[in-house]
Structure 1
């Protein structure tokens, strides 16, 4: 699937290079960068990691504005 498909299907502002906050880690929220797609999921490299993981576009993700404020998102599951 493409990034455009994910934006339309899930109504999220996902774009390659955008910053996110993943809130599903037991240790607390973690920041990361969208690096691509895999099927209908986002490939995100969390800060400090060498490999990217696949994340559902609406599950435990907050999409951040360039200033670090939350653009959209929250805890969806």
Structure 2
């Protein structure tokens, strides 16, 4: 399940290198911007800000596609 699957299944513009914003529970003061670096089992792999760690996010749960 790659990027094409995620785009088709969820109707989102997900692609490697795209910018996203994660806003937990709608709390704008806690929002984080990141870059999509890949996929894993139908989920997005995102590197947030300057972190080295890559995190896994559901393509539609509290994610906004910025670019």
Q: Under a length normalisation based on structure 2, what TM-score does the superposition of the two structures give? A: 0.90
Q: Under a length normalisation based on structure 1, what TM-score does the superposition of the two structures give? A: 0.79
Aligned partner of 1:37 in structure 2 is: 39
How many residue pairs were aligned?
A: 65
- Which consecutive residues of structure 2, in runs of 5 or more, have no partner in the other structure? none
- Which consecutive residues of structure 1, in runs of 5 or more, have no partner in the other structure? 66-77
Query: Of the two structures, which has the highest relative contact order with CA contacts closer than 8 Å and spacing of 6 or more?
Result: 2
Q: Which runs of 4+ in 1 moved over 2 A?
A: none
Q: CA RMSD in A?
A: 1.4
Q: Secondary structure at 1:13's aligned position in 2?
A: coil
